[in-house]
Structure 1
Amino acid sequence: MHTQVMKTSHVLTPRLITLSAIAALTLVLAGCGSTTGERATSGAGVGAAVGAGAAAVTGGSVTQGAVIGGGVGAATGAATDEEDINLE
């Protein structure tokens, strides 16, 4: 019986770096707005754009990426307080 041993590389790929940067940017920008509704709305918009972009770069469905990103962005924006993230 032959056994194959697969080596895994711990090198950060450009895709992983890009997706990590997109996730960090989404978290930061989801804090924009003074009310919970404003932060959820801006988070949804930013998340949808980032999700669609990430899906396009990775070869996924742009629509699914936008929907998932919008949901994550809205949830993140709604979960933050105005004092949580200060962009000044």
Structure 2
Amino acid sequence: MAKKGQKFKKYDIKLRLQIVNEKINEGKSYAFLEKQYGVKWRTIATWVRIFKRDGSLDVQKKGRPVQDEEVNYKEKYEILKKFQEFLEEVDREKK
């Protein structure tokens, strides 16, 4: 588990693809690849799993996608204004 303030190593996509190809195509062991490239075997196993699942190692953004549509603030303001007037009218009727 990651610790607060922990810095992660970033590996070039070419190196990651080379390691994954050696593992999948040439059948080299995780221990051999770990010694050769200095990358933890669990990291290599994760790359192999992602490559088999997605077909690539491209980093995908997480989270909610950005909406491209323009926000019409004037329209939203008018709607909120009408709603506020409605609430005031309901409140007056209660009294």
Higher relative contact order (Cα pairs below 8 Å, separated by 6+ residues): 1
Structure 1 and Structure 2 fold alike (TM over 0.5): no
Of the two, which has the highest radius of gyration?
2
TM-score normalised over the length of structure 1: 0.31
